[in-house]
Chains A and B, each alone.
Chain A
Amino acid sequence: MRTKIEVRSLTKSFESDKGRLPVVEEVSFSVRDGEFVAIVGPSGCGKTTLMNMMAGFVRPDAGAVIIDGTPRSKPDSKGILISQQGSVFPWLTVRENLMFGLNGHAQANSSIADEYAEMVGLKGFEESYPYELSGGMLKRAELARALVVKPEILYMDEPFSALDALMSLRMRNELLRILAKERHTVMLITHDVEEAIHLADRILVLSPRPTRIQATFDVTFPHPRRLSSREAQELRVAILRELGVDHEGLAPI
């Protein structure tokens, strides 16, 4: 399959009181069209900075992000970022939020918006304001707002980590269901190794700061995946070992 995203020796450092703080160092990898790539790494390692550079919000010091063969310099609606805190506009209804990124006639937009609201299970809540929704529903709205503009790439930065364990699991299944229907290229940042194994085709493990790619794992077993299977457990142990958590003392789920 053809290459969708090419990350070429991306490097970034920030100025701090103690001088230059290198955050991302010479990270290179590529993502195929329609591939689901998860990035795991220790907290504070620069995952979010890497994601922000890929989505075009932060300019790298060196290196480039090449999408469909063209270097990217700023964000656009071909790749939508979904962040941990979420960015559903609290002053707009669910429907108005979904219509936000759409061009064209209000009438047509409205019916497209409702169609996507239904797809993520928000039928009947189109007129609701975000403060009337639960955390899980808010995530659904966020996801629908991203999907409605038909992005080619989804950048997801710890999208479900603010949810409780059960809701997070539910949202993962929802995401897989939607992705089976609308094929997107997905970049997912997570600190949850199981989430990565559940969702991704490939898992990149990042090192502590300044971050680089420390290991890569292909996740080959088919969906729907059983996280309690032997191969999933083995993969989990291998990834955790890369992250510096020893196998000893790891209880199987």
Chain B
Amino acid sequence: MHRIKDTWPPLAVIAALIVTWWVAVITTRSMIFPTPWGVVSGVLELLKDGTLWRHIGASLMRVGTGFGLAVCVAVPLGLWMGWVRRAYETLNPVFQILRPISPIAWIPIAILWFGVGDASPIYLIFISSVFPMIVQTTAGVHTIEKRFLRAAENFGVSRRTRFKQVVIPAVLPQVLVGMRIGLGVAWLVVVAAEMIALRSGLGYMIMDSRNAGNRYDLVIAGMIIIGLIGLFLDGLMRMLERAKWVRWRYAH
């Protein structure tokens, strides 16, 4: 009952948008801009010949690889920078300079270094999602409440125990926040990166549809699918926030 109550307002907004779109296309008699039904039939067409799945699979594979690599680098590095003051003082300025550089600006260099294969977008995803995760993890260590570190000190436990039972669990919620941001950025970037080169992926699909015969129905279909997958990925990360080992942070 509650669910229906909560979900109907956004659904109503979406329905209103679709109706407005439909009416606008019909009244302006646009030859290029498709109607919602045109988009749906375009999607069905792509589903039938299987290209849609191929593009989605390619994009997800690139995001998965780039983001996965970024997690492997950012979490240990963030923990180290949070824990060791000198490491923070040395590396933080460098990262603060690299962080605001838009991943789009990296595209020429990515192509120069990695060519136009899969490695370029993976590199772009890596470079754009690694910094927010480093920053969040480091901040997570810095904001561990002193009373918990004191308690650990008081009981005289080994460094290993302190790290495993105090530092890691205390930082984990912040790491998850960083991962959620990182994955969002990664998804944003993969599409942009695919627009430049390559022969697959949702970004490629959008550019290719436009270039090969003004198939704006497929352009819009691509955009909507990107949005829906983004929503789904964020939902996945949010499910992690409900996992047993971070529930303490969100329970009240």
Binding site for B on A (CB under 8 A): 55, 57, 74-77, 80-81, 83, 85-87, 89-92, 96, 100-101, 129-132, 149
How many angstroms from the CA of A85 to the CA of B246 in the assembled complex? 21
The answer to whether A101 and B157 touch across the interface, beta carbons within 8 angstroms, is yes
Residue of A nearest to B152 (CB): A100
Q: Please name all residues of chain B whose beta carbon is closer than 8 Å to the beta carbon of A89 when the two chains form the complex.
A: 148, 151, 165-166, 169
How many angstroms from the CA of A80 to the CA of B151 in the assembled complex? 8
How many angstroms from the CA of A178 to the CA of B206 in the assembled complex? 72
Known: A91-B169, A91-B245, A130-B248. A80 touches B150 (CB 8 A): no
How many angstroms from the CA of A87 to the CA of B157 in the assembled complex? 15
How many angstroms from the CA of A74 to the CA of B156 in the assembled complex? 10
Q: Please name all residues of chain A whose beta carbon is closer than 8 Å to the beta carbon of B161 when the two chains form the complex.
A: 100
Residue of B nearest to A79 (CB): B154
Q: Quick check: is B170 within 8 A (CB to CB) of the other chain?
A: yes
How many angstroms from the CA of A83 to the CA of B154 in the assembled complex? 12
**Number of B residues with CB within 8 Å of any CB on chain A:** 23
20 pairs of residues in contact across A and B, judged by CB atoms under 8 Å: A57-B153, A75-B153, A76-B154, A80-B154, A81-B154, A83-B147, A83-B150, A85-B147, A86-B147, A87-B148, A89-B166, A90-B248, A91-B170, A91-B246, A91-B249, A96-B165, A100-B152, A129-B247, A130-B248, A149-B155
Q: Quick check: is B32 within 8 A (CB to CB) of the other chain?
A: no
Q: Please name all residues of chain B whose beta carbon is closer than 8 Å to the beta carbon of A132 when the two chains form the complex.
A: 251
The answer to whether A129 and B155 touch across the interface, beta carbons within 8 angstroms, is no
Binding site for A on B (CB under 8 A): 147-148, 150-157, 161, 165-166, 169-170, 172, 245-249, 251-252
Q: Please name all residues of chain A whose beta carbon is closer than 8 Å to the beta carbon of B245 when the two chains form the complex.
A: 91
Known: A87-B147, A129-B248. A55 touches B154 (CB 8 A): yes
Q: Please name all residues of chain B whose beta carbon is closer than 8 Å to the beta carbon of A129 when the two chains form the complex.
A: 247-248, 251
The answer to whether B156 and A76 touch across the interface, beta carbons within 8 angstroms, is yes
Q: Please name all residues of chain B whose beta carbon is closer than 8 Å to the beta carbon of A81 when the two chains form the complex.
A: 150, 154
Residue of A nearest to B250 (CB): A131
* Smallest CB separation, B66 vs chain A (Å): 30
Known: A91-B169, A92-B169, A131-B252. A101 touches B156 (CB 8 A): yes
Residue of B nearest to A129 (CB): B248
Which 8 residue pairs spanning A and B have beta carbons closest together?
A101-B155, A87-B151, A91-B169, A90-B248, A87-B147, A131-B251, A77-B156, A75-B154
* Smallest CB separation, A52 vs chain B (Å): 9
Q: Please name all residues of chain A whose beta carbon is closer than 8 Å to the beta carbon of B165 when the two chains form the complex.
A: 89, 92, 96, 100
Known: A57-B150, A87-B150, A89-B169. A80 touches B247 (CB 8 A): no
How many angstroms from the CA of A1 to the CA of B20 in the assembled complex? 89
How many angstroms from the CA of A80 to the CA of B156 in the assembled complex? 10
The answer to whether B248 and A131 touch across the interface, beta carbons within 8 angstroms, is yes
Q: Please name all residues of chain B whose beta carbon is closer than 8 Å to the beta carbon of A101 when the two chains form the complex.
A: 155-157
Q: Please name all residues of chain B whose beta carbon is closer than 8 Å to the beta carbon of A149 when the two chains form the complex.
A: 155
* Smallest CB separation, B180 vs chain A (Å): 19
Q: Please name all residues of chain B whose beta carbon is closer than 8 Å to the beta carbon of A130 when the two chains form the complex.
A: 248
How many angstroms from the CA of A149 to the CA of B156 in the assembled complex? 11
How many angstroms from the CA of A60 to the CA of B31 in the assembled complex? 82
